[in-house]
Chain A
Amino acid sequence: MGIPLIMVRAGLCQKEEDAVSVANTAESVDLAPAMHIVEEMSPVTSGDIIPLLQRIQEAYGYLPKDVVLRVCDETDLPASRVFGVATFYSQFSLRPQGRHLVRCCKGTACHVRGGQRVMDTLERTLNVTDGETTSDMAFSLETVACLGTCFLAPVVTVDDTYYGQVTPDRLRKVLAQYE
């Protein structure tokens, strides 16, 4: 655990789990999509780090460490800076995501209308906590700052589908529809 903790202390990663993912090297992924993105965005400057990472994540579903390191080489961007950005913003994930992304809104309207109970049910039903993926890789669970659909509160989205005014009971049924 030496390396990850140093990274956390150095401020390269905000969370220890992220540091562990960065330190973990056993990945083999296709580099071609990333190289294609770099080429399209070329010349890549430091101002482009966020759009660059957004496109890589869109292509891979997450930010595979080897891909990001290779992109750093290719673009001459310091890896420390790129990982610093990748671990700062909640949009980026350094770990593979489940087949379905379940997002539970933690906006105020949702909270006032029982959002915490909905999140509790999700965590218990899926047996994961915020930011984790189920062991069968079916679902990743995250909370999200207000989705801006307060009229549907409390809201849960599964991939791109919105489920409004959910109750713990309805939620269990919704999840059962996905595999």
Chain B
Amino acid sequence: MAETTLGGAEALESFRREAQDAEMAFRARVLLCMTGCRSMGSMELAETFRTKLDAAGLSDEVEIVDAGCHGQCVLAPHVVVEPHGFLYGGVRPEDVDEIIETSLRQGKPVERLCQSVDGEPVSTVDEAPFYKGQQRLVLANCGKIDPTRIEDAIATGGYEALAKALAEMEPESVVSEVKDAGLRGRGGAGFPTGLKWELARRSSGEEKFLICNADEGDPGAFMDRALLEGVPHQVIEGMIIAAYAMGASKGFVYVRAEYPIAVEHVAIALKQARKRGLLGENILGSGFDFDIELRMGAGAFVCGEETALIASLEGDRGMPTARPPYPVESGYQGKPTSINNVETFANVPAIVLNGKDWYRGFGTEGSPGTKIFALAGRVNNTGLVEAPMGATLREMIYDVGGGIPNNRPFKAAQLGGPSGGCLPMKYLDLPIDYDSLKEAGAIMGSGGLIVMDESTCMVNIARYFLEFTQDESCGKCPPCRVGTRHMLDILDRISNGEGKMEDLEELERLAEHIQDASLCGLGQSAPNPVLTTLRYFRDEYIEHIQLGHCRASVCEGLVSAPCSHACPAQVNVPQYVGMVATGQLNAAVDVIRRRNPFVSVCGRVCDHPCQTRCRRADLDDPVAIRALKRYAADNATGLSQTVGPPASGTSEVAIVGSGPAGLSAAYFLALMGRRTVVFEKQPVAGGMLALGIPEYRLPKEALQRDIDFILRHGVELRTDATVESVEELKEKGYRAVFLATGAQEGRAMGIEGEELEGVEESLEYLRARGLGKEPKTGEQVVVIGGGNAAIDAARSAIRLGAAKVQILYRRTREEMPAYDEEIEEALNEGCELHELLAPNRVVGEDGKVTGIEMTRMELGEPDDSGRRRPVPIEGSEFVVECDMILPAIGQRASIEAASGLEITSWKTVKFDPVTLATSDIGVFSGGDVNNGGSTVIEAIADGQRAAVAIDRHLGGAGLLPPDVSMSIYRASDEELENATVQTPEPLLPVEERLDGFREVAFAFHPEGACAEASRCLRCDLEKVRS
């Protein structure tokens, strides 16, 4: 095409037709991202495509398009083959032959290169959930055209809106169209764009300026970069229209120097537009003059603030000035200036072309249109997402974003960068627009949406943002310069475990002053991340301050390895994993037992918070820590070896209850030289371990090994010994009492017919089996509930002869508190799971159960925990026939012996979270009695903490045994890189399980254990090594 100036709308149209015809000459197109995907090798890929297409003689039929970002950055390098729309990710040069043969010659997808969703390959863009959930108006052409070719832009409708505005509309009518469309500034604050132009238009002065703010500095936002790189002409067109509307003669694009591709593409586009008469004098023959200069920012976050940006353009340090006067009156060189964001400009052409009513068809009343979000952090489909205003976080994170890696639970979403806030689970269903976000304490900001899961520490994230704003504070006004420094100092202290409770109020006080008194938006909004985390995640701050605990295992001053820190009992995990890798099993068991005496038990039934927090999970699978513990416990030869000499002397401490909390306390007290007496009302020791957890998960012998080990340290156990009250023990002369009576009783369903024969509370049922009785089991068993007790009862019932076992739960499997692997095995063993059913009444005949009437539920609005609340469907009642019902809907703390102690409204013992002290001096409580049902390892940790507190109470130092041996083994980098898959624990085949209570899981073979242990990254050694 000739390099001529386009003299008017007609010339533009004929240029468009020519460009479209040239496109039509190709029967297929391969779209490659040449911007973001460059970092993953898309340039080499494009080279390979060109060479191979040439060789195949297809270069006249197939066009290779060096396109911009297509949004789904996780697939980089991202390839789309048109006309079919095949979508490929992670494409390597060696895949090109197959794409040419299969997709370009035969028109079929190469399935192995497609993204898989729920195990199924998704072969085209139209089918991909990532694109289905979006509304791509602004990004419509991004990733589809070559941004360095004005022909591509014009062929896809570029500059059509400009031609319309110049030929058919007065500047005022452009202003009112954009104003009525309700377009609000996409840079952050959401000021009405049309109004800004109107104000600038009305300001007196011959010369006016227009600035495109492309100093995208918000960490975690990259939509402006994608737009400038992918559709620079769209932004330029929006700018020219804006200039026409407000009457500007000169414009600037102020872009970050850190975006070299954006700088390059904008420079090319400006040159092309100028050459075609779309910039400069007499644009499209209309008599309107306007040109744009490209300026690179030199790296200062504060330049996102409009007055600072102007100072920077004028060659000064980027420091803001007080407003008013606003830039629309007195901006660049004291002249009226409108500053708008890249994405705002990119919205303009479509509004002018299609009109305000069309635009208002998208989004919400107060915030029409769409917004581009940069989805990043802990989410599967990281990338750019354009959604209508009013879409919810859940839609963006789960539908478009594909959820959180490893199915970890959502914790918070950070919106609006350092000026924004962290929103918790309860806002997952909040329709997002400017106003709703403000109300919740966040802001739209530039649209950065960082997803956080439980591996993110909220104190750390607040500290991170404040460190950023502190660093970027220009220093002009003291509230921002000094105030943020003070806040940061406080947060530093808290992250190091040196905080005080008063610090929290001090943070809020400082935040208020900084918000009120700072000169510009940077300072005014800097406290937001701290304030929202304090508002929604205050517990975490308190944990850091009071317990020195960071639940996400992030804060460096508190954490060496995340696994150990995540373990409530603080077992030195990397040490013993290293020892297993080198075959030192006795040493491994010794390391564990210095913090946890229940090595055989926890190797089998622990819910392994260590493993959940394992850093290896970020690379592939977490190290199978629990299985390694099991292997060590089952194979160590020195299992009977004690950790310290048995305690002697008189017993000064009484412990009520021989569950994991009680026995652990006794054990650690023994290691501190104190003899204890453990009172157990049942004939056997172990509490829930013996009478709650079925033997197929925890064989009696394994439990007994751990109990024997504990007793060898000089612990006296009295079974069949009921303690009526704490007073009774004090009268007998015990100087301290540890109450660990557990939560033995199940809750009643509270429905009609519960007294009928055949209804048996599941804990009773499990206890009968644990005591060696053969509990009577029905033919048709129904279990009500979704926790571990429900699954234990169901799997026991199927072993005890039930023909059919149905688990009925009022929410869905996703919300079940039971461990997922347990649910899986229950289903494997033939139990049925029916979701969204709530019990109504028990149906019976002759005093016996014949069925249970259930109501169908549907998921309604989410509750505060973010879980959607089940709501009954009216008239959906039906009867499930059965002859036995095992309700398992919760436990009740056993507080009978706690008479005289303060009790909470939840009917649990009131205790101090640090020392576990109760309201009575010398009496401590821990385990399930404190919280009405928790995990084994938490009970053990409580026992440990109680031992420390009791020893101190009695005048001791409360020291836990130090580690004596050490492992610095770590596999080589190569080995670590290759061992990507977790070794599975061998399981007993289902057909061999059901005729008894044989243990289902086996220990690793030695090779398996060594291989698995060698996958450990040894995070604890990281600081030592480099």
Contact = CB atoms under 8 A, between A and B. Distances in A.
B363 interface: no
Given A107-B220, A108-B376, A150-B222, 8 more contacts: A48-B315, A81-B316, A112-B452, A113-B618, A114-B618, A117-B1022, A124-B1026, A162-B39
A90 B256 CA distance: 12
Contacts of A164: 39-40
B313 interface: yes
B313 to A, nearest CB: 7
Contact of B39 (A49, A54, A149, A167): A149
Given A148-B225, A149-B39, A113 B377 contact: yes
Nearest to A110: B219
Contacts, number: 154
B interface, by DSSP: helix, strand, loop or mixed?
Answer: mixed
A144 B258 contact: yes
B374 interface: yes
Contacts of A92: 298
26 contacts: A45-B315, A46-B315, A46-B316, A49-B316, A50-B296, A54-B298, A85-B315, A88-B300, A88-B318, A90-B298, A90-B299, A91-B298, A108-B414, A112-B377, A112-B456, A125-B1026, A146-B217, A148-B216, A149-B36, A151-B74, A151-B376, A151-B383, A152-B39, A164-B39, A164-B40, A172-B973
Contact of A146 (B219, B257, B313, B461): B219
A81 B257 CA distance: 21
Nearest to B1026: A124
A50 B219 contact: no
Interface of A: 14, 45-51, 53-54, 81, 84-85, 88-92, 106-109, 111-114, 116-117, 120-121, 124-125, 144-153, 161-162, 164, 167-169, 172-173
Contact of A47 (B73, B315, B456): B315
B219 A107 contact: yes
B448 interface: yes
A47 B225 contact: no
B218 A91 contact: no
A169 B976 contact: yes
Interface in B585-619: 615, 618-619
Contact of B464 (A84, A111, A113, A162): A111
B221 interface: yes
Given A107-B220, A173-B973, A151 B36 contact: yes
Nearest to A45: B315
B61 to A, nearest CB: 32
A12 B505 CA distance: 37
Contact of A90 (B300, B314, B1017): B300
A162 B312 CA distance: 29
A124 B1026 CA distance: 6
Contact of A169 (B217, B374, B973): B973
A145 B450 CA distance: 15
Contact of B378 (A47, A113, A168): A113
B925 to A, nearest CB: 38
A155 to B, nearest CB: 8
A168 B1026 contact: yes
Given A48-B315, A91-B299, A108 B382 contact: no
B101 interface: no
A144 B259 CA distance: 12
A88 B312 CA distance: 10
B715 to A, nearest CB: 42
A120 B557 CA distance: 13
Interface in B217-253: 217-222, 225
A113 B377 CA distance: 7
B483 interface: no
Contacts of A168: 1022, 1026
B301 interface: yes
B817 to A, nearest CB: 27
Given A47-B313, A108-B377, A150 B300 contact: no
A77 B461 CA distance: 43
Interface string B443-475: 000001010100010000100110010001011
Given A116-B556, A151-B376, A53 B382 contact: no
B377 A145 contact: no
A101 B376 CA distance: 26
A-B pairs, 10 with minimum CB distance: A151-B73, A162-B39, A148-B222, A150-B376, A89-B298, A109-B376, A108-B220, A49-B315, A90-B299, A107-B219
B378 A112 contact: yes
B506 to A, nearest CB: 25
A88 B619 contact: no
Contacts of A124: 1023, 1026
B34 interface: no
A173 B973 CA distance: 9
Nearest to A114: B618
Contacts of A167: 619, 1017
Given A48-B315, A90-B298, A92-B298, A148 B259 contact: yes
B220 A146 contact: yes
A125 B1022 CA distance: 11
A50 B295 contact: yes
Contacts of B1026: 121, 124-125, 168, 172
A50 to B, nearest CB: 5
A150 B382 contact: yes
B76 interface: yes
Nearest to B39: A162
Nearest to A126: B1026
B221 to A, nearest CB: 7
B17 interface: no
B943 interface: no
Contacts of B417: 108
B92 interface: no
Contacts of A151: 36, 73-74, 76, 376, 382-383
